[in-house]
Structure 1
Amino acid sequence: MHKYLLFLGTSLAVAQPALADDGEIVVTATGLAQPAESAPQSITVITRKEIEQVQGADVTRVLTRLPGTTFTRTGPMGGVTLIGVRGAPAGQTLVLIDGVPSGDPSTTGGEFDLAQLATGTIDSIELLRGPNSVVWGSQAMGGVMNITTRIENGVSGSVEYGGADRVTATAAAGLKGERFEAGVSGSFVDTDGYSAAANGTEKDGYRQYNIAGRARYRVTDALSLTANARYSQGKADLDGYPAPTYTFADTDATEKLRVWSGRIGAVYETEGLQLNAGYAITDSRREGRDPEDPWGNYTFKGRSERAELFGRVALPARFALNFGGAYDWSEFRNGFEEGKAENGSIHALLGYYGDRLVVTGGVRYDHHTDFGGEWTVGANASYEVVRDLRLRAAYGEGFKAPTLYQLLSQYGNPALSPERSKSYEVGLSYAERGAPVYAAITAYRRDASDLIDFFSCWTGNAPLCATRPDGFYYNVGKGRAQGLEMEVALQWTPTLTSNVVYSYVHTENRTAGDPNRGNRFARRPAHMITGSLDWETPIGLALGFDLRVVGSAWDDAANTTRLDSYALGDLRASYRVNDTVELFGRVENIWDQRYTIAGGYGTQGRAAYIGVRLRK
């Protein structure tokens, strides 16, 4: 039986005790809700309205609108789908769902697999780009994403059918009262898919169920009780390496993924003090089966538990101090190896929140059961030069302990050291996203050391190959990612809007003596552009066009296999019949572009979808 501990610590806060009635509210900056304009970091929020405008169950269609993000997927929907921020690997981006850390301790980097998500249960997606390890800890070296599930004030649902015989159904119901609000949402996706292997002919299908719910009850004007839960179950057909050639091709392999998570908590809010305490669990089970290859059968189990406290104290002279801390337990099993780890942390962040100047600085202390203590620091600032024009700057350090998989699996290396990073950024923004005119530009650099990579004993030799004949994880040394993000959104008329996001990232292996020194990191395109144009006609018809241009990249660390650049275009339309019924449809990849995200894996050609949405 665990003895659950809560450490006092801090997170960034606003000096004003009350939140704005309008405008975006964010939580990734501090762990507590605050107006977006008071957070000096680079944060983007995508709302439910935009998610429905984009259409479809595939969450990656929405994520392409976020600056500085890349994603990889091993084949069709249901394949492992990972997001990277500003050139960082997926394991360095913390993903929260309703505030619950959702990374899987049984995966290589402890990353979150986006394949377990569908847009039908999502109300908003909030992404903080850049490190926020002072508040969130080790996995926040690259960024923090918080996904909030839906609470409808009524009922709604949708059904969609299209390419690869994909059927998508969503439903949501809820109520919002003065003291109590609660909602439940669910989605179902079933598709025949296409071959995961680019050279294959057999379709690889996918079926997924997803349900989420959350509630809040206001006991008094100051005290509220909160709870949320989520369950996802999916089964995906996979391809593999069948005999006699043992090259990537069609197989009858499958993988099942089941994940559940939940959190209970209490929120206390007065004019000068805010507290948010909670206990969260995430539990996952991944099972792979290959009838042609018994060695392809596997079971991975991961579980994490977290007791946490976030707090905020308003101080005189427009200062604020945030306090809180956390204790984490994680465990991993794969049928052969198993292990556990614990980490306790406290953090403090002091901020000044003036009318034009916001400055914050903080420190965090982590104590890991295997790697001892570690201090990290961070600072952020923004200054309103003239009305709506803000100059931003930030510095942050990161610390990430090796995952249990990297330490204890059949490829594990107990001698691994934690990854560390130092990040810098400076930017300029005008207004806020959603305003008639919005523009932002940010330049950044992140230097990392003791990065963890995989050493293959099939292509090299090292002493550890004697006990790890297939390979092992090791610290490769230094790496750098630097780049530029730009976003411009314009409302040309009350019914015509456009948005363009451009991201440039240059990554480099800077490890002295490494054979890959000077090479780019794998699957990090240098250039990415996402553009959208939307028009709402006077007769209830809405039309939209999306364009995604991705530059070339390397598929491997040795930079020997090139991934060519590509451009994808989507056409969208919707028609509101009345206040209850809306028809919608789209054509994805209208030019039937052949492209590659991950070497050897297939991608979707042209596909059309049509659906209906109901509200009450």
Structure 2
Amino acid sequence: MKRLVIAAVLPLVVVQAAQAAEQDDVATIRGGRRAAVSGQEIVVTATRGEQEIAQAPASMSVVTGPELRRRPVQDLAEALKNEPGVTINGVGMTRRGISIRGMSNEHLLTLVDGRRITDSAANMAHVDFDLGWVPTIAIDRIEVVRGPLSALYGSEALAGVVNVISRRPEQRLEASALALQGVRDGEGGDTSQLSALVGGPIVEDKLGIVAWGEYRRRGRTTSHVDPLQSELEAREALSGSAIAWWKPAPGHRIEIGQAVSEDDRARDTVTTGTAPVYYEYQDHINRAQTHGSYSGSFGWGEVQARAYRSVLKRRNERDQDQTPTQPTRGVDFVADARVTVNAFTGNRLTLGAEHRNEYLRDSTINTAGEDSVNHDALFVQDEWAFGDIANLTVGSRFDHHPAYGWQTSPRAYLVLKPLEGLVLRGGVGKAFKAPSLKQLSLGYITVAAGGRFTITGNPDLKPETNTAYELGAAYYGQGWHLGATLFQNDLHGLVQTICVENCGIRGRERRAYVNVDKARIRGVELNGAWTPVESFSLSASYTYVDPQDLSNDQELAERPSHSAKWQVAWDFLPGSTASLRGRYIGRQTIYQSTVPVRLSGYDLWSMDVSHALNERLTVKAGVDNMFKKRLAETSALYTYAEPGRVFFVGLGAQF
């Protein structure tokens, strides 16, 4: 806690000595719009090397930090909800996850500056603890890759990758602060955010540091069906980070950093037995990540080596004599290195290796109460540039898992530019996801669903796999672009629980993890943007998904077939910007027992306005969910609740 407070207060102490940062001014935002429309945004996630997004061997989109800092954003789900191909789904206990192209949230790999964070969803049910690591004030951009990237990043990247790139002010000392207050139109659900950042060189071109801290909270909201239960849980979090870098010589960089977070959740709920008991359910989550890295540029290529350790602790409390979930501690240690060789003109060859140790302490996993597994990998990637006409990226990753031996994840992707402004792209890739430590443990047993059944592990599980195909085209004109992409995911061996003993008998039913499902998810994405004048921009996207469970010949649950997003931004006065955002989520299927139920589609609208009082202070205001859409009041079968209409006001400061 002491380190968190220091990280939060430090930027405020030095703010008067800092120079103007000008990170979120209108000129910066306009520059970002121009880059997005022209396809010139620089991204790194698709190949681990810098390139323009129009030439990246993947379907990608970028959300910029200045855009996020104009509205209340408490986690990645809120940050990405307007991105093409992204939908938000429920993961239980009022929490939400991120789905890409109809894939499960468990098939999405989340990174911070290219580093894995502890995958809490792998060994804990109904959690979203991976979504709130970095506050918006510390985000430079978020890169979203739609499509498997196990060829580079290994297990979990079946659906895609979300990479949060944090800010590194290096040219001058910068400081900024952000305060946002949201007031819900109704009882409860108010939000607060207070954050600050300072960073820059201590010794010019040699030594620098960046530190940030954030406090955020959201009040719980009450269910309209049962006022004694919470529709949305309460959240309160305090987090901080400090990163230092040293450049011992031109082209060489050493970096070390530490991030910590305390996150408390609370909700009112009820038992499911014959004599219901109302009680308060609390989760206390502590997270930390320590990292160190070296990168060097040479005449023949580049070298990068790094090591990092991520820790997540969860402690549960319940009143009214209800038995809490036992404490859980997960630790990931990763060491990796890669070498990129510019073998000859137009060719970049990358070779790399990774060692990862995954450790879990949990009383339910086995009689010892702990287990671990080593993941080792080698990967190779070769990028070929054929003048200005074509780029070909081929590669593969070879992962070793003690239970399965070596798993291969190949990928090939071609980008063609036959005409000025026209980009054609297509590729195929295979990805895999190893079952979690709990799923593979013969001794794992836990009581679930309020005591209705138990779940046991299965050491005979096979990995989940996805073979993905995509083909797309985009045209970049003067101030506009249009794009279309066809995609298909063929999934095999999806892990689910099925009843194996005493089915239907409460308290005696036993379920086990098995590979039962085979699925095919295909569809199309359309996107476009138009900037007729520098002060006005319009962007929109549409996604159609056909999610089929081939094992049971039925539609996959909670995968909307149609979704659309749109945004209008207008700099209506010098220093003033307004934006209007909307998204439509189409009809989706939910299974009540085994009976399919079609839930209606819905649309959500938001708007925000910001005005620069001077070069240092900016006021912000707006409203989320303008028309007070309340999914829970439409149907109790929606797996997560929208909080309703929320008004917000804020102040940003830059020095």
**Which TM bucket (shorter chain)?**
0.7 to 0.9
- Counterpart of 1:4 in structure 2 is none
Q: Which residue of 2 aligns with 1:401?
A: 434
**8 Å contact from structure 1 (residues 449, 478) kept in 2:** yes
**211, 227, 232: which one aligns with 2:256:** 227
Contact 1:419 1:449 in 2 (8 A): yes
**Aligned partners of 2:234, 2:595: CA distance in 1, in Å?**
32
Structure 1 runs not aligned, ≥5 long = 1-21, 512-516
Describe the shift of the 1:495–1:27 C-alpha distance in structure 2 as closer, same or farther (beyond 3 A). same
Whether 1:485 and 2:525 are equivalent positions in the alignment is: yes
Write out per-residue CA displacement over residues 136-189 of structure 1, whole angstroms, 9 at most, x where no aligned residue: 111111111111223344111011112233221111110144233421122211
- Superposed displacement of residue 67, structure 1: 1.4
Q: 1:531 aligns with which of 542, 566, 588?
A: 566
| Percent of residue pairs identical | 23
Residue 122 of structure 1: aligned partner: 139
How much does 1:443 deviate?
0.8
Please state how far the C-alpha of 1:245 moved relative to its aligned partner: 4.9
In the TM superposition, what are the counterparts of 1:59-98 in structure 2 within 5 Å? 59-73=76-90, 80-98=95-113
The Cα shift of 1:457 comes to 5.8
Q: Distance in 2 between matches of 1:459 and 1:172?
A: 57
Residue 645 of structure 2 corresponds to which residue in structure 1? 606
TM-score, with length taken from structure 2 = 0.83
Distance 1:109 1:223, change over 3 A: farther
Among 140, 157, 164, the alignment partner of 2:177 is 157
Task: Give 3-state SS (helix, strand or coil) of 1:405's partner.
Answer: helix
In the other structure, the counterpart of 1:173 is 198
Question: Equivalent residue for 2:458?
Answer: 413
* Aligned-residue offset at 1:55: 4.1
- SS class of match (1:113): helix
- Residues 180 and 562 (structure 1 numbering): CA distance in 2 closer, same or farther, change over 3 Å? farther
- The answer on whether the counterparts of 1:242 and 1:292 sit within 8 Å (CA) in structure 2 is no
Structure-2 change in CA distance of 1:329 and 1:237 (3 Å): same
Aligned length: 582
626, 629, 633: which one aligns with 1:593: 629
Q: Could you say if the C-alpha distance between residues 386 and 29 of structure 1 is closer, same or farther in structure 2, counting changes exceeding 3 Å?
A: same
Q: Which amino acid aligns with 1:486?
A: L
Choose from 238, 241, 247 the match for 1:209: 238
Point out the more displaced range, 119-128 or 578-587. 119-128
Aligned to 2:468: 423
Listed one character per residue, the Cα deviations across residues 539-573 of structure 1 (whole Å, up to 9, x for unaligned) are 43222111111112123494534433111111211
Provide the aligned C-alpha RMSD in A: 2.8
1:186 to 197, 200, 213: 213
**2:155 alignment partner, one of 130, 135, 138:** 138
Q: How does the TM-score come out when normalised to structure 1?
A: 0.88
Whether the aligned pair in 1 keeps the contact of 2:228 and 2:268 (CA below 8 Å) is no
**Cα distance change on mapping 1:476 and 1:74 into 2, 3 Å:** closer
Compared CA separation, residues 244 and 451, structure 1 to 2 (3 A)? closer
Please tell me whether the aligned partners of residues 194 and 602 of structure 1 are also in contact (alpha carbons under 8 angstroms): no
Q: Which amino acid aligns with 1:94?
A: L
State whether residues 328 and 343 of structure 1, in contact with CA within 8 Å, keep that contact through their aligned partners in structure 2: yes
TM-fit CA distance, 1:123: 2.2
After superposition, the C-alpha distances for 1:513-545 in whole angstroms (9 at most, x for unaligned) are xxxx12222221111111111111224322211
Which residue of the other structure, out of 238, 245, 249, is the alignment partner of 2:267? 238
Partner of 2:620: 584
- Which residue does the alignment assign to 1:9? none
Q: Which residue of 2 aligns with 1:24?
A: 41
Aligned to 2:6: none
Deviations 1:51-73 (A, max 9, x none): 12344434433202321112224
**SS in structure 2 opposite 1:537?**
strand
Preserved CA contact (<8 Å) 1:116 1:233: no
Asked if the contact 1:106/1:333 (under 8 Å) is kept, the reply is: no
Cα distance change of structure 1 residues 345 and 467 upon mapping to structure 2, 3 Å threshold: farther
**Partners of 2:70 and 2:620 within 8 A in 1:** no
Residue range with higher mean Cα deviation, 350-359 or 188-197 = 188-197
Task: Provide the residue aligned with 2:36 in structure 1.
Answer: none
Distance 1:108 1:270, change over 3 A: farther
Per the alignment, do residues 186 and 414 of structure 1 end up closer, same or farther by CA in structure 2, a change over 3 Å counting?
Answer: same
Q: 1:454 aligns with which of 476, 483, 497?
A: 497
Change (3 A) 1:27 1:215: farther
1:5 match: none
Secondary structure (helix, strand or coil) at the match of 1:336 reads: coil
Separation in structure 2 between the aligned mates of residue 137 and residue 111 of structure 1, nearest angstrom:
21
Amino acid in the other structure paired with 2:498: F
Q: Distance in 2 between matches of 1:362 and 1:219?
A: 33
Instruction: Please give the alpha-carbon distance, in whole angstroms, between the structure 2 residues aligned to 1:108 and 1:243.
Output: 18
Q: Runs of 5+ in structure 2 lacking a partner?
A: 1-38, 184-188, 446-454
1:483 counterpart SS class: strand
> How far apart, in 1, do the equivalents of 2:162 and 2:288 lie?
18
